[in-house]
């Protein structure tokens, strides 16, 4: 994964490092177990202080995304390896019955509950759990367009209160996994979406000329922050970059003069048949494939 840093950005270099590596891990541009560049290497490459890089790495470690190996370096944290062969499945089933018996459940109870679970109707639509209304709208639109299925949305707070659809496949961003798993009903599963990487989303798109005026437009403020950070890091001149929140009144004013409009899928609807539009999709293709397979 290539790291881009800009000293001219309003976003601190430390936060740029944290954001880019976090996105790289969530999008799988950085694989589990992969070694990150050393603090000295990044500091030398971008002519910044090593303490800045070290501070960013410590924050990533506190978030559980990376880990330090003494004398070796910093690595993307690895998830536990999951075995998928038949013998492993038999072992899981055996442990399940042993644990249930140890807790006093009769075989007849287990059989009845398993039959009920297996007979349950498969989900017919998706339910996006996300507290940010604007991000929730974007995720819902991407999933609906990619799968052709009904997609509903709910805030984390309302989901916590139990106000959710029992016949929906629950969906959330990977960054919400730890929080959501704590309140997920035992009979429910959740598909945690991987974030799309910037190179994958913008692949095949022509790089704008140095004097082109570029607009980044979205109703989700975080989208604008990320767009600005990556565009500045890609050596786009700050004076050629225009940021617009679609939540502000008259936000379209002046956009007639720009050469390129970078936006999310929801905002793109405001520019039908406009060749200047470049859509940045938030959900990785691998997660879209998983969603399609989850509902027959």
> Which one of 3.40.50.1110, 3.40.228.10, 1.10.10.10, 3.30.830.10 gives the CATH number of domain 13-76?
1.10.10.10
Sign of the four-CA dihedral 230, 231, 237, 241:
negative
- Lowest-confidence pick of 43-47, 83-87, 91-95, 151-155: 83-87
The listed range with the strongest mean pLDDT (3-7, 113-117, 212-216, 262-266) is 262-266
The three-state secondary structure class of 43 is helix
Distance CA 241, CA 231 (A): 8
Does this model's pTM top 0.95?
no
Question: Which range has the worst mean pLDDT, 39-48, 183-192, 258-267?
Answer: 183-192
DSSP 202-216: TTTPPPPPTT--EEE
Res 203 pLDDT > 70:
no
The first and second tokens of residue 137, run together, are 């709208």
pLDDT in tens, 207-258: 667 778 999 999 999 999 888 888 887 778 888 999 999 999 999 999 999 9
Q: Tens of pLDDT along 138-163?
A: 999 999 999 999 999 999 888 876 65
Q: What are phi and psi of 279, to 5 degrees?
A: -90, 130
Which structure tokens are listed for 196? 């799309």
Chain length of the chain: 296
Architecture of domain 122-196+283-296: 3-Layer(aba) Sandwich (3.40)
Starting at the edge strand found earlier in the chain, the sheet holding 125-129 runs: 151-154, 125-129, 168-173, 190-193
């Amino acid at each position: 994964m290539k790291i881009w840093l800009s000293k001219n950005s309003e976003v601190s270099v430390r936060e740029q490092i944290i954001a880019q590596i976090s996105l790289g891990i969530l999008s799988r541009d950085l694989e589990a177990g992969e070694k990150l560049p050393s603090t000295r290497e990044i500091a030398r490459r971008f002519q910044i202080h090593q303490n800045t890089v070290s501070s960013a790495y410590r924050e990533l470690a506190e978030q559980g995304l990376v880990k330090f190996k003494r004398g070796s370096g910093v690595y993307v944290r690895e998830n536990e390896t999951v075995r998928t062969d038949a013998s492993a499945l038999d072992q899981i089933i055996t442990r399940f019955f042993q644990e249930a018996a140890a807790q006093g459940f009769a075989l007849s109870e287990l059989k009845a509950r398993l039959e009920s679970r297996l007979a349950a109707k498969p989900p017919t639509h998706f339910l996006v759990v996300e507290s940010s209304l604007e991000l929730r709208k974007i995720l819902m639109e991407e999933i609906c367009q990619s799968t052709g299925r009904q997609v509903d949305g709910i805030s984390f707070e309302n989901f916590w209160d139990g106000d959710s659809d029992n016949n929906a496949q629950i969906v959330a961003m990977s960054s919400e996994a730890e929080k959501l798993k704590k309140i997920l009903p035992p009979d429910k599963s959740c598909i945690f979406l991987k974030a799309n990487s910037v190179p994958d989303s913008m692949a095949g798109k022509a790089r704008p000329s140095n004097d082109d005026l570029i607009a980044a437009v979205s109703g989700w403020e975080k989208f604008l922050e990320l767009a600005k950070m990556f565009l500045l890091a890609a050596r786009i001149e700050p004076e050629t970059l225009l940021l617009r929140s679609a939540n502000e009144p008259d936000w379209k004013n002046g956009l007639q003069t720009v050469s390129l409009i970078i936006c999310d899928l929801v905002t793109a609807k405001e520019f039908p048949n406009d060749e200047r539009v470049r859509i940045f999709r938030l959900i990785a293709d691998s997660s879209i494939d998983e969603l399609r397979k989850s509902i027959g």
